Amino acid sequence: MIKIANAPCSWGVLEFDLEGKAAGFEQVLDEIRETGYEGSELGDWGFMPSVPAQLKWELDFRGLSMVGAFVPIALKDPSKHAAGVGLAVKTAKLMADAGYPDAFIVLADDNGSVKERTLNAGRVTPEMGLSKLEWQIFAEGANRVAHEVKTKTGLRTVFHHHCAGYVETPDEIDQLLALTDPSILGLVLDMGHSRYGGGDPLAALKKHKNRIWHIHFKDCHPNIAAQSRIEGWNYFQSVGHGVFCELGKGNVDFPAIVEELTKQEYCGWIVVEQDVLPGMGNPKVCALRNRKYIESLGL
């Protein structure tokens, strides 16, 4: 059975150091429950309680489950791998000890930290990508994280392709999957990042169905994406202008995606993500409209 969650990023709680004050975890969890969702992701380490019993109490009090936790690591740099593994294992252990053995570590590149990729998000060229050696280092780091998380906590790891990182385009997703171990590392398919990164989310869903263990529902506004390319906006400017819009208002074909998920008998979580930064709008109102839209698709 498919279950629907939301994530702290929809309340402006992001891994990036941006202007404005985001909501606290109590408000985020309250509003996730009040708008009809069944689960949440963890947010950055320290956003929610880091003591397992406390974390479980907060979620149980609201009737929510913990779905996963986003862990960004600069995988291109081998000197960052050990610390990244440590953070991933610590995060996974928190979720496992709190009683969520099916939660995922959502591994990603350290998105937004490389100037060229950040400036050209949504329009990168192959020349801006990794070399053959860098790909090997990147993939080895991803495999190492997934192996250590599985061995030490029992949790599984999925990789999050993401604009403003080194795994953004369809070709880059293909390359990462080809170089990593399918028995320990899956893919979280993010519909909005797929579209903004030049891909077709429905085609990716079909192509990588055996590696997709987790789903993010995010939409991409075509007019804002086109304007970002004309104006030369960087990733953060594009997000601030609303490139990741409410579900159903962009050009991701969600009805076809739901039809395909049904055909594949997908029975995991779908996590809604709409990056509503502080000052952009009312996250609770957006979350409710997104939930109503998903209900209109039969979920």
For the stretch 133-167, pLDDT in tens is 999 999 999 999 999 999 999 999 999 999 999 99
Compute φ and ψ for 113, nearest 5 degrees.
-100, -15
81-97 and 52-62 are packed helices; what angle lies between their axes, rounded to 10 degrees? 50
> In order of start, what are the domains of the chain with their CATH numbers?
3-296 (3.20.20.150)
Is-contact 20 277, C-beta < 8 A? yes
Is-contact 214 268, C-beta < 8 A? yes
For residue 5, pLDDT over 60 is answered with yes
Of 131, 68, 265, 275, which is closest to residue 192 (Cα–Cα)?
275
CA distance 48 to 287: 19
Question: Residue 23: which H helix or E strand, with range?
Answer: none
Is-contact 238 222, C-beta < 8 A? no
For residue 18, pLDDT over 60 is answered with no
pTM (2 d.p.) = 0.95
Taking only the tens place, the pLDDT of each residue in 49-72 is 999 999 999 999 999 999 999 999
Taking only the tens place, the pLDDT of each residue in 254-281 is 999 999 999 999 999 999 998 776 566 7
CA distance 273 to 236: 16
Taking only the tens place, the pLDDT of each residue in 64-95 is 999 999 999 999 999 999 999 999 999 999 99
Computed over every residue of the chain, the mean pLDDT equals 95
Mean of pLDDT values over 249-256: 97
How many residues would you count in the chain? 299
Taking only the tens place, the pLDDT of each residue in 163-186 is 999 999 999 999 999 999 999 999
Q: Band the pLDDT of 23: cuts 50, 70, 90.
A: confident
Q: Say how many C-beta atoms besides its own lie within 10 A of residue 185's C-beta.
A: 26
Compute φ and ψ for 157, nearest 5 degrees.
-120, 135
